[in-house]
Chain A
């Protein structure tokens, strides 16, 4: 039976068919739906881990204990889990272990555009890269086979267009469901120098064997169409190149990027006058080809930036000009993403903006606090950096600066990597104020449970992290819970806490407006008492705008959250049913 599946759902299906028993992940676009799709298979234990490092370690442990397992993450998550990954390359596996990582060329939903293919060579772990949902499923299964056959973890590399495109997939039965026996083997799994030195020898032997595999595997395949142009590509660019150039060129499609199929590539290139390497982001394949002494055309013709398109490829290869586009003669206003109507973060940023504070930011829906009119954030680097970077800012500029400085960090992000930064502040005598934006969910990536929500990935009730007790136990003596929609009180609390000479935490508590249990009703209306001061416009609410110099509320957008009612200095906004 064939089914239309998202690339991510196809990876999950592949894991299911491969007999996977444990999947541990941290959400991250574009990888999130892999783990969300795993939940439909009761045979598989699934969890949202607090961060990617934990997820990888859970999967590594499960593999050593005899279960096929897989952590899934976005590209930057791989940086977080890099530590265990590099050593898992040395221990190898008991049952199959696949690290699934999704890159985001074009940065649809990311803070950088890293090319995770570099990790394969750096960590000495083989890497496969599928081109559509069918291959997502097949390559996942192959990755597990290779993992066990060669005693190594295997990377499966995806990118946004593969993860988030649906195509047809043939479904099969589940196999290899049994646990492998567990036997203590310290020489293999205790990585202290004496053992690791011996394991490194095994790693190099295994890579040599995998290189042989890469030379002959069907997933590295030539498609000869009898012309004098050859194209080397893989993943997304195989699709784009095929669409652009059809049968007018020959292809070498790389499905296994590492170890690189040297001989097969040399053989392929011999057949052509001109060879192009077409790959998004960095010249990974191109560098390999050049190291082999092959002359190829690569990044001198193709950009290092963003996603490719068939048109871009056609132009680069044939020099064909792109026909002039049919467009209106005027510049259209952009439509950047915005915080939803009813978003609890809006109250927080309204106050921070009003107080003119420096805001050390982080990653989540609240990163949108950076855009006008709230324009609050000063920095966003990576998950957790809001807390530790603010500590660095305060140490650099002193107490006076620190009294006008706060960190903002979401509940999921705080559990992911904010706790260590807060520990640092307490331990090293900082006096920062950290605002935990507790909206009771991992919002940005589409509503995943996390340790602060009290529910597991399968919606089962579980112990809920007590953020107050947690912060206090780290040594933060001043922990205050405040509702960001009660703007008067929230402002008072922020002023008080930033004044302190000691660390403090404000838990800004109000659930995400999109949660099912949040039931705002009716909508807000402007009454005759309106003096047109436009204070409510400072909220940046998508429901409030100005028409003919009068403020109006669009009730198809308004969900009646009432924040504007609290902000209006004249009591001129009322809630109606």
Chain B
């Protein structure tokens, strides 16, 4: 059995760090793991998608449509865009934050309304305002770790394993605020 988790968001939101924390946590549990990342052009404010897969033996590092057990979305339009990847019984965890893409800014398109409600009609959705929680933790840049907290709660991997990875991944200076963010996310 392989578990497939997709992390989606907007370039610059810290999805890469989130997928690395996830990857390094599941290896503590002795799984084979593959993490597929996106670098380069699309990181510049575009849609970004990373995949994390773990199990006894993982072949493809990518996840196809209809195959993700869990999607962690950093932004609600990106959540909607990723919906076709969610498996039938999968769960979508989504930050309700809105970040306008350039076609919306220029007026060539409009930002769709009530995306969270529309997603809820089609899938099992856990939604939260991770930006406010990150502010509460003390730094808006911890949105990614707040979301990792929610993901942790929805996983079978014990709390301490996540904390161990965060301690190893995050620089000393920012550790306290990140641990706070993780805990707030975990207890949403």
Contacts and interface: CB of A to CB of B under 8 A. Distances in A.
Interface in A1-45: 2, 4, 6, 29-30, 32-33
A330 B122 CA distance: 13
Interface residues of B, number: 60
Interface stretch (A171-179, A216-224, A258-266, A542-550): A542-550
B112 to A, nearest CB: 6
A181 interface: no
Interface string B21-65: 001100100001111111111111111000000000011111011
A392 interface: no
Nearest to A372: B106
B159 interface: no
B10 A30 contact: no
A167 B103 contact: no
Interface string B116-127: 001100110000
Interface string B88-111: 100000000001111111111111
Contact of B102 (A323, A371, A445): A371
B183 interface: no
Nearest to B78: A335
B34 A326 contact: no
A109 B42 contact: yes
B27 A168 contact: yes
B81 interface: yes
A428 B117 CA distance: 64
A170 interface: no
Contacts of B36: 161, 164-166
A29 B37 CA distance: 12
B46 A337 contact: yes
Given A33-B39, A309-B62, A542-B45, A4 B77 contact: no
A553 B177 CA distance: 27
A337 B64 contact: no
A551 B38 CA distance: 33
B150 interface: no
A32 B86 CA distance: 32
B24 A4 contact: yes
B38 A337 contact: no
A139 to B, nearest CB: 17
Interface in B127-178: 131, 140
B15 to A, nearest CB: 13
Contact of B27 (A4, A336, A337): A4
B11 interface: yes
Nearest to B37: A164
A431 interface: no
Nearest to B47: A335
B44 A4 contact: no
A30 B34 contact: no
B80 interface: yes
Contacts of B111: 333
Contacts of B61: 132, 161, 165, 167, 239
A326 B27 CA distance: 31
Contacts of B100: 542, 545, 554
B41 A444 contact: yes
A323 B58 CA distance: 23
B32 A30 contact: no
A4 B80 contact: no
Interface string A124-168: 000000001000000000000000000000000000010011111
A355 B83 CA distance: 43
Contacts of B35: 4, 165-167
Contacts of B80: 328, 332
B131 A556 contact: yes
A398 interface: no
B58 A167 contact: yes
B112 A164 contact: no
B40 A108 contact: yes
Given A4-B33, A545-B105, A311 B64 contact: yes
A399 interface: no
A525 B65 CA distance: 42
Given A161-B36, A325-B84, A337 B41 contact: yes
Nearest to B107: A546
A365 interface: yes
A242 interface: yes
7 contacts: A309-B62, A322-B66, A325-B84, A332-B77, A333-B101, A333-B112, A542-B105
Interface of A: 2, 4, 6, 29-30, 32-33, 108-109, 132, 161, 164-168, 239-240, 242-243, 309-311, 322-323, 325-328, 330, 332-340, 365, 368, 371-373, 444-446, 537, 540, 542, 544-546, 554, 556-557
Given A166-B33, A340-B44, 16 more contacts: A4-B35, A108-B42, A132-B34, A161-B36, A164-B39, A239-B59, A325-B84, A326-B84, A334-B47, A336-B102, A337-B11, A340-B45, A372-B102, A372-B108, A444-B40, A546-B105
